[in-house]
Chain A
Amino acid sequence: MKKQYNITKRTVRIALFVALALVMYMVESLVPPVFAFAPGAKLGLANVVSLCALVLLGIVDSYLVVVLRCILAMFLVGNPTALMYSLPSSIFALSSMVLLYCFIFPKVSLMGISFLSAIVFNIVQLLVASWVVGNIYVVLYLPLMFLASAGAGLFVGLLSFFVIKHTPSNVYL
Chain B
Amino acid sequence: MNIDKINIVKNSKPIKIWDLSILIFVVTVSVVAFFLLFNQKGAVVQLWIDGKYISDYNLNHTQSIELDVHLGHMCFSISDGKVFVVHADCDDQICVRMGEIDKVNQTIVCSPNNVILRIVGESDLDF
The interface of chain A, by Cβ under 8 A from chain B, is 1, 33, 36, 39-40, 55-58, 61, 79, 81, 105-112, 115-116, 119, 129, 132-135, 137-138, 140-144, 146-147, 150, 154, 157-158, 161-162, 164-165, 169, 172-173
User: Within 8 Å CB of B23, what residues of A?
Assistant: 112, 115, 150, 154
B116 to chain A, nearest CB (A): 5
B22 contacts partner chain A, Cβ-Cβ < 8 Å: yes
* Residue interface mask B25-50, A partner, CB < 8 A = 1: 01101110110010000000000101
Band of interface residues on B: 35 or more
Docked pose: A58 CA to B2 CA in angstroms? 7
User: Within 8 Å CB of B4, what residues of A?
Assistant: 1
* Dominant SS among interface residues on chain A: helix
B79 to chain A, nearest CB (A): 21
B127 contacts partner chain A, Cβ-Cβ < 8 Å: no
Question: Is A112 a contact of B15 with CB atoms below 8 Å?
Answer: yes
Further contacts, 12 of them, CB under 8 A, given A108-B16, A115-B22, A173-B3: A36-B97, A39-B98, A40-B94, A109-B12, A109-B13, A116-B22, A129-B111, A134-B52, A146-B26, A150-B23, A150-B26, A172-B1
